[in-house]
Amino acid sequence: LNQLLVEYGPLAQAFSAEGFSLYAVGGCVRDAILAGNHDSDDVDFTTNARPDDILRLIAPFCTTTWEMGRAFGTIGGQLKSNKKKIEVTTFRSEEYVDHSRKPEVVFGDSLEVDLSRRDFTINAMAFDLVNPRLIQPADGVSDLNAKRLRTPIDAAVLFNDDPLRMLRAARFASRFEFEIDQEIEAAAASMAERITIVSPERIRVELDLLMLTKRPSIGLDFIVRTGLAAHFLPELPGLALEQDPIHQHKDVLTPTPTP
């Protein structure tokens, strides 16, 4: 986490000088804890500042800025110092309607509420870049250490709001070789049909990312087991029943490790 402090502390100080907080959040914090550093070219921050103030405060630090996500409270830029892309998003809560995964965004003032709406506990962590401390109301570090994928609030609520999170569960479990919590499993199995409100393009992106992970078989098994695959890749469940003709104790879906 010290690397985050060194690279982004000056930006956080600029926010602090105007009475705003700025926290590194999500994947960069998770990866810094896991690996001792973060090597992503994209870094996310969250703040109580509103988009106009975010743009004004990051502009002196950036070679360019963009506002495509302004309606969702997000302002982006490319830093002069390390050439990395950043996105700074106002604290928010979200309200969803049943037929869509696109939220109605409400800006907020609570970091804890903002973190609670995130997909998994390992992504629901923030690092204070002014008064260095890790904020993890859902105990994400314990889940990282236990190699466990868990949601910060009721999984059924999160998956009902955005069904794509069920596929993200498959991807993260495969990427980190984590065990998927039973609450996630049960929620995904009970609402698998809700994945049909997600566009085929978004499903394809998640599947592509899943296949690039360290152990894609973990996620593939999850989406078959929960019934998700039947709604967008109906051929896949059949592979779990088809026996490998050479290694007859294996099914075709689960690859045989190379000696």
* pLDDT tens string 147-181: 999 999 999 999 999 999 999 999 999 999 999 99
174 within 8 A of 214, measured Cβ to Cβ: yes
The residue among 150, 114, 148 whose CA lies nearest residue 26 is 114
The percent of residues above 90 in pLDDT, for the chain, comes to: 78
Quote the DSSP letter at residue 153. S
Main-chain dihedrals φ then ψ at residue 126, nearest 5 degrees: -130, 150
189 within 8 A of 226, measured Cβ to Cβ: yes
d(CA 44, CA 258): 38
Flag whether pLDDT at 122 surpasses 80.
Answer: yes
141 within 8 A of 116, measured Cβ to Cβ: no
**Amino acid 101: pLDDT:** 55
**Which residues are bridge partners to 149 per DSSP?**
180
Q: Which domains does the chain have, with CATH numbers?
A: 1-145 (3.30.460.10), 147-259 (1.10.110.30)
For residue 104, the SS3 value is: strand
**Amino acid 256: pLDDT:** 41
For residue 234, the SS3 value is: coil
pLDDT in tens, 81-121: 999 999 999 999 766 556 555 667 889 999 999 999 899 99
What tokens were used for 146? 């236990």
d(CA 162, CA 171): 15
Q: pLDDT class for 236, splitting at 50, 70, 90?
A: confident
For residue 128, the SS3 value is: strand
Cα Rg, the chain, nearest whole Å:
20
Q: What pTM did the predictor assign?
A: 0.86
pLDDT in tens, 13-64: 999 999 999 999 999 999 999 986 666 778 999 999 999 999 999 999 999 9
**Which residues are bridge partners to 242 per DSSP?**
none
d(CA 193, CA 231): 7
Question: Taking residues 190-194, what's their average pLDDT?
Answer: 97
